[in-house]
Chain A
């Protein structure tokens, strides 16, 4: 298989104002879970369940970013990073998810945004990165339609607080994970395994997205709003019709489930075949709300699949035959070209919506040697994926920016602290930040774009 790596002349394909940044999320880095009136979230609760997190850990301290954000931003600035995507912890602003504002939470994020300003870093703010206030889960969480309305109220409040100073908002991060991992197979919070509920949760997440976009438009801000989906590039093993159809089914499972309602205002014609039934939660007019025009689509891309038809498989009659010759520490197959093909396919299929890569990166085994981490395989991963961006831009895909996942090692959900995605190594005993070789490489690349 041919692998094209980054070379400097690919820079000519990038527009001058292309956004290069790094990404993170609240529960994975903040810590300070009991600070200043923060309400409990479903991830605090999930981590407390026995045996669900690989190393039995939680995000109670994480990177202690709650107390160290200034030094983290200073490090970003030293790396030449000018764009940063992060999420707000809903329960810092509204400890119960709805109702009373927690002033201390508002102060925290106001100061955090002030600090970003000071370090010359432009924010992209995710409203929801999986840390639902526990109080809302107690009332049914995302399976309850009311949660969508609570989210819309929270979103509207955030726009009122920060809409004048944040130019890019993301409603949801990877609703597929909340639905499938959280409610389908239960390996993420809230740890539910209920197929019908999973379908409703996905529908309510999308409904809440549409309501938030409406609220943003109503407030009349000049910035941009979109949603981030984790997408997987799916290839049929052969050109045989049954394999093409198998790939289309898996494509609906990974991508179309959310892409079709949000960008086309309808569920896929294969939806019933893939999921066995339609979501019971659909109400008249929902799809119109869900399909509010968005300013951009955020894409989190990590891996790809090759699938074949298999009459005997319970999983949508498909068999996963993805080569595992090159994988990350998550055992996710690596294919930079998959990102290129994904971007081009999206552009062909869904039209002109502008795109951001809001996450891309890899877990690798990182070892501190002296004061350096020589993560050459991460550099190779990024290099291969940057070449893919160049290709997609060359072919006319309206790609506006790229946020690397992630700035620093952090709490990797069910894997706890056993899997590291950071450009910056974190020594958990001392909270020391140590830029890995990939951080220097990324910084050098960003610098080279400046002149």
Chain B
């Protein structure tokens, strides 16, 4: 095998220069470095790891766990955008991502924790719903960050929007804007964020002294189909609400489609408010009034938190960030 000296001779530089080029040190001319690396490749010189690599024991890979079986997965617009931002931010900090599959053969008999250990990831980011498998991981010393998703444990952190407050404030705003009959299309209630948003609806209604009409609280299931089903449920009621507040934009869009088919005009007959502010919210007609989550802030905060948890080692404290939301008025609501 060639020696580092052979490489230096062929490239016409010192062996120190070769070492600098191989180790990506800054104090070397870019052209010289390129020439050295070309020779390294030509000679099939394979630099061996130094003892330093033995003590680092870091893969610089973050596992992404998003256990969905709904067939939508990363096409879920909000999740996709957030992961993209997280990827860019954690990439700047020197990490790559590995997407962990749902537990399938040959891994069926192994817990998420065992798989995370096996893959030697430095930390795990959780999206979507929590389940029993996450518990063991959260109790371990593996750095864990939940996005849109509260997790607790010795080395856990989470980043969420202020879901409850956001919906509470939106209800107040709608009532002050003259809306009398408010319906709510909630998300899957095994998701903590969906529960928080529903709680925000109840607390907002209570704060404004309004009674909740039971038939107007429908399941929008964070999906287009859920929106269609919600609209049908509302249409079957004895009377219609004057505004439907949705826990997700995608649900609002489903409702919009069904209302259109039924000849119901938005916002003249019924107004609509979404949650998330996905890209489609401003493409649909009429453009959707919505509660915007700070998807940029969520992704960036989560990335920084992850690196803090990893690099802080045992000194890292569990942390939880709550990011504010913004009410974006478009044309699916009347003048308020």
Residues of A within 8 A of B (CB): 1-2, 4, 7-10, 12, 234-245, 247-248, 251, 256, 259-260, 264, 268-270, 306, 321, 335, 337, 341, 345, 348-350
- Size of the B side of the interface (Cβ < 8 Å), in residues, is 33
Q: Are A243 and B106 in contact (CB under 8 A)?
A: no
Q: A51 vs B3: C-alpha distance in the bound complex, in angstroms? A: 41
Tell me if B4 counts as interface (CB < 8 A to partner A).
yes
Q: Are B54 and A1 in contact (CB under 8 A)?
A: yes
Tell me if B324 counts as interface (CB < 8 A to partner A).
no
Tell me which of B23, B48, B110, B120 contacts A247 (CB under 8 A). Answer: B48
Interface string of B103-135 (1 = CB under 8 A from A): 000110010001101101000000000000000
Q: A270 vs B50: C-alpha distance in the bound complex, in angstroms? A: 19
Q: Are A268 and B4 in contact (CB under 8 A)?
A: no
Q: Are B19 and A239 in contact (CB under 8 A)?
A: yes
What are 19 inter-chain pairs, A to B, with CB distance below 8 A? Answer: A7-B117, A8-B110, A9-B106, A10-B118, A12-B106, A235-B51, A235-B54, A237-B50, A238-B51, A239-B50, A241-B15, A241-B18, A247-B48, A268-B1, A269-B5, A321-B51, A341-B49, A345-B46, A348-B46
User: Known contacts A4-B120, A239-B23; can you find 18 more A-B pairs with CB under 8 A?
Assistant: A234-B48, A235-B48, A235-B53, A237-B50, A238-B51, A240-B16, A241-B4, A241-B18, A243-B50, A244-B48, A245-B4, A248-B4, A259-B1, A268-B3, A269-B2, A269-B5, A337-B54, A345-B48
Q: A248 vs B2: C-alpha distance in the bound complex, in angstroms? A: 9
Question: CB-CB < 8 A to B57: which residues of A?
Answer: 1-2
Question: CB-CB < 8 A to A350: which residues of B?
Answer: 1
Question: CB-CB < 8 A to B47: which residues of A?
Answer: 244
Task: Output the least CB separation between A411 and chain B (Å).
Answer: 34
Q: A270 vs B5: C-alpha distance in the bound complex, in angstroms? A: 9
Of B15, B18, B51, B106, most A-chain CB atoms within 10 Å: B51
Tell me which of A8, A236, A240, A242 contacts B48 (CB under 8 A). Answer: A236
Tell me if B140 counts as interface (CB < 8 A to partner A).
no
Question: CB-CB < 8 A to B53: which residues of A?
Answer: 235
Q: Are B5 and A245 in contact (CB under 8 A)?
A: yes
Tell me which of A12, A235, A243, A259 contacts B49 (CB under 8 A). Answer: A235
Q: Are A238 and B54 in contact (CB under 8 A)?
A: no
A306 and chain B: residue at smallest CB distance: B51
A322 and chain B: residue at smallest CB distance: B51
Tell me if B211 counts as interface (CB < 8 A to partner A).
no
Q: Are B50 and A269 in contact (CB under 8 A)?
A: no
Task: Output the least CB separation between A275 and chain B (Å).
Answer: 14
B47 and chain A: residue at smallest CB distance: A244
- Given contact pairs A1-B57, A244-B19, A237 touches B3 in the complex (Cβ within 8 A): no
Q: A4 vs B117: C-alpha distance in the bound complex, in angstroms? A: 9
B17 and chain A: residue at smallest CB distance: A241
Q: A241 vs B14: C-alpha distance in the bound complex, in angstroms? A: 9
Question: CB-CB < 8 A to B15: which residues of A?
Answer: 241-242, 244-245
Q: Are A236 and B114 in contact (CB under 8 A)?
A: no
- Given contact pairs A2-B57, A270-B3, A9 touches B48 in the complex (Cβ within 8 A): no
Tell me if B242 counts as interface (CB < 8 A to partner A).
no
Question: CB-CB < 8 A to B110: which residues of A?
Answer: 8-9
Q: Which 5 A-B pairs have the closest CB atoms?
A: A2-B57, A241-B19, A241-B15, A241-B16, A306-B51
Task: Output the least CB separation between B263 and chain A (Å).
Answer: 57
Question: CB-CB < 8 A to A251: which residues of B?
Answer: 48
Question: CB-CB < 8 A to B6: which residues of A?
Answer: 269
Question: CB-CB < 8 A to A260: which residues of B?
Answer: 1
Task: Output the least CB separation between A306 and chain B (Å).
Answer: 4
Tell me which of B18, B49, B52, B115 contacts A9 (CB under 8 A). Answer: B115
Tell me if B55 counts as interface (CB < 8 A to partner A).
yes
Q: A240 vs B25: C-alpha distance in the bound complex, in angstroms? A: 11
Task: Output the least CB separation between A346 and chain B (Å).
Answer: 10
Interface string of B50-88 (1 = CB under 8 A from A): 111111010000000000000000000000000000000
Question: CB-CB < 8 A to B117: which residues of A?
Answer: 7
Tell me which of A235, A245, A348 contacts B50 (CB under 8 A). Answer: A235
Question: CB-CB < 8 A to A345: which residues of B?
Answer: 46, 48
Of B15, B16, B18, B54, most A-chain CB atoms within 10 Å: B54
Q: A10 vs B110: C-alpha distance in the bound complex, in angstroms? A: 11
Q: Are B4 and A237 in contact (CB under 8 A)?
A: no
Task: Output the least CB separation between B252 and chain A (Å).
Answer: 43
Q: A7 vs B119: C-alpha distance in the bound complex, in angstroms? A: 11
Q: Are A256 and B19 in contact (CB under 8 A)?
A: no
Task: Output the least CB separation between A268 and chain B (Å).
Answer: 7
Question: CB-CB < 8 A to A239: which residues of B?
Answer: 19, 22-23, 50, 52
Q: Are B54 and A264 in contact (CB under 8 A)?
A: no
Task: Output the least CB separation between B131 and chain A (Å).
Answer: 19
- Given contact pairs A235-B48, A306-B51, A244 touches B4 in the complex (Cβ within 8 A): yes
Q: Are B1 and A1 in contact (CB under 8 A)?
A: no
- Given contact pairs A1-B57, A248-B3, A9 touches B118 in the complex (Cβ within 8 A): yes
B257-313 with Cβ < 8 A to chain A: none
Q: A9 vs B116: C-alpha distance in the bound complex, in angstroms? A: 11
Q: Are A245 and B49 in contact (CB under 8 A)?
A: no
Q: Are B48 and A245 in contact (CB under 8 A)?
A: no
A11 and chain B: residue at smallest CB distance: B106
A236 and chain B: residue at smallest CB distance: B50
Q: A349 vs B2: C-alpha distance in the bound complex, in angstroms? A: 9
Q: Are A349 and B1 in contact (CB under 8 A)?
A: yes
Q: A341 vs B6: C-alpha distance in the bound complex, in angstroms? A: 23
Question: CB-CB < 8 A to B54: which residues of A?
Answer: 1, 235, 306, 335, 337
Q: Are A349 and B51 in contact (CB under 8 A)?
A: no
Q: A235 vs B110: C-alpha distance in the bound complex, in angstroms? A: 35
Question: CB-CB < 8 A to A335: which residues of B?
Answer: 54
